[in-house]
Amino acid sequence: MNRVYLGLGTNIEPRKSHLEKALEQLKQNEAITIVKQSNRYETAPVGYTEQADFLNMVVEIKTTLSPELLLDRCQTIEKELGRERTIRFGPRTIDLDILLYNEENIKTERLTVPHPRMHERGFVLIPLAEIAPHIKIGEETIDKLLNKLPKQERDDVKVWQQ
Ligand code: GSY
């Protein structure tokens, strides 16, 4: 059984419903079990900043799916929830990223794991630290990575309780 961390994000309303539907669709797959899920966080957009705030969260799953098959599953869910890839880094109904797959380093045409930008993204590290405080990303502990984040990046990520 493989232990995987997925990052979810949405910044098109209804954001809460998009997260719930994505989780529901993950659960419906008999090869996937959700083990833990973080709070939802409201986060300022990173990269392309002229867009609405995101809701982000991280889930830990157990799965028998290979990385490529899991990626297929995530992309199918994104399509089913209406994601259109128009502006790169732009608004999206739902984004499902494979952050970590066991402790494997994977590099194929379609997939890089650990996710290449996760170590510098508060909207990933903060929810991940909530559910996996002892995890390492490569050689670095998550605490160390969190301490390296600029204060503004940390302040831009707030638990969302609606
Ligand atoms: O990489 C995921 C999409 N994305 C996000 C996101 O999920 N949250 C925030 N806060 N900013 C983002 N910029 C991009 S691109």
Residue 55's pLDDT is what? Answer: 98
Pocket test for ligand 1, best of 5, 11, 83, 157 (most atoms within 8 A of CB): 11
137 Cα: distance to centroid of ligand 1 (angstroms) = 19
Minimum-distance ligand 1 atom for the alpha carbon of 47: 13
pLDDT at 16 over 90: yes
Instruction: Answer whether 132's CB lies under 8 Å from 5's CB.
Output: yes
Minimum-distance ligand 1 atom for the alpha carbon of 92: 3
Average pLDDT, the chain: 94
List phi, psi (to 5°) of 146. -65, -40
- pLDDT digit string (tens) for 21-72? 999 999 999 999 999 999 999 999 998 888 999 999 999 999 999 999 999 9
> Domain segments of the chain: what residues?
2-159
Residue 48's pLDDT is what? Answer: 87
9 Cα: distance to centroid of ligand 1 (angstroms) = 7
Residues with catalytic annotation? 83, 92, 95, 97
pLDDT band at 82 (very low <50, low <70, confident <90, very high): confident
Question: How far apart are the C-alpha atoms of 159 and 146, rounded to whole Å?
Answer: 16
pLDDT band at 92 (very low <50, low <70, confident <90, very high): confident
110 Cα: distance to centroid of ligand 1 (angstroms) = 19
Minimum-distance ligand 1 atom for the alpha carbon of 117: 1
pLDDT at 152 over 90: yes
Residue 88's pLDDT is what? Answer: 65
Burial of 51 (0-12, 13-18, 19+ CB in 10 A): middle
SS3 107: strand
Reference 56, options 37, 43, 46; nearest CA is 43
Q: Which helix (H) or strand (E) holds 20?
A: helix 15-28
CA distances from 118 to 75, 90, 121, 127 (A): 19, 18, 5, 11
| Topology classification of domain 2-159 | Alpha-Beta Plaits (3.30.70)
pLDDT band at 86 (very low <50, low <70, confident <90, very high): low
Q: What angle (nearest 5°) sits at the alpha carbon of residue 32, between those of residues 26 and 33?
A: 95
β partners of residue 159: 41
Pocket test for ligand 1, best of 15, 56, 74 (most atoms within 8 A of CB): 56
Residue 21's pLDDT is what? Answer: 96
Instruction: Answer whether 11's CB lies under 8 Å from 91's CB.
Output: yes
- pLDDT digit string (tens) for 20-30? 999 999 999 99
pLDDT at 89 over 80: no
SS (H, E, C) 37-99: ECCEEEECCCCCCCCCCEEEEEEEEEECCCHHHHHHHHHHHHHHCCCCCCCCCCCCCCEEEEE
Residue 160's pLDDT is what? Answer: 97
Question: How far apart are the C-alpha atoms of 72 and 64, rounded to whole Å?
Answer: 14
3 Cα: distance to centroid of ligand 1 (angstroms) = 23
